[in-house]
Amino acid sequence: MDISTAHSNARNAAARLPALQASFDLLDSGPGAPYIELYGTVRPAPGAAPGGSPLVTCTMSNPPGTVDGALFRIVLTTPIEGQIAVAGDAVWARIYDGAGAWWADASVSDDAGSGEIKLQVVTLAVGAFVRITSATLQG
């Protein structure tokens, strides 16, 4: 069967919300809470070794957020905080599910930037706390 572009677009849109819910369910799976590690290294290929130690690990709430079906995105519950272990500028984030398995990588910026994960400030100092003020993952 060959289908029109309009037919294909309608099918893709109909499948988008169940796929987004499946992504959220995976993030929320496992025995523990999902978490985010912030890195100051160059962002690697998806799922590849991060190229350094995380600057900070931030544990999410459980459940970690909600699915916004109207805008096709996952919105994590914020604020999310963690104590900084390594100084540096946060450049990207790695997100892990509740079983500790890699779930996704995301961009990071300050509140004025366009990062998927937004921080009050991106320059992190050892011993201080970082606050994730917004985390929206488009699906």
| Model confidence pLDDT, tens digit, residues 114-139 | 999 999 999 999 999 999 999 999 97
Q: Are strands 129-138 and 117-119 parallel, antiparallel or unpaired?
A: antiparallel
pTM: 0.92
- The count of structural domains within the chain is 1
| Model confidence pLDDT, tens digit, residues 57-100 | 999 998 999 999 999 999 999 999 999 999 999 999 999 999 99
User: Which range of residues forms the domain containing residue 66?
Assistant: 5-138
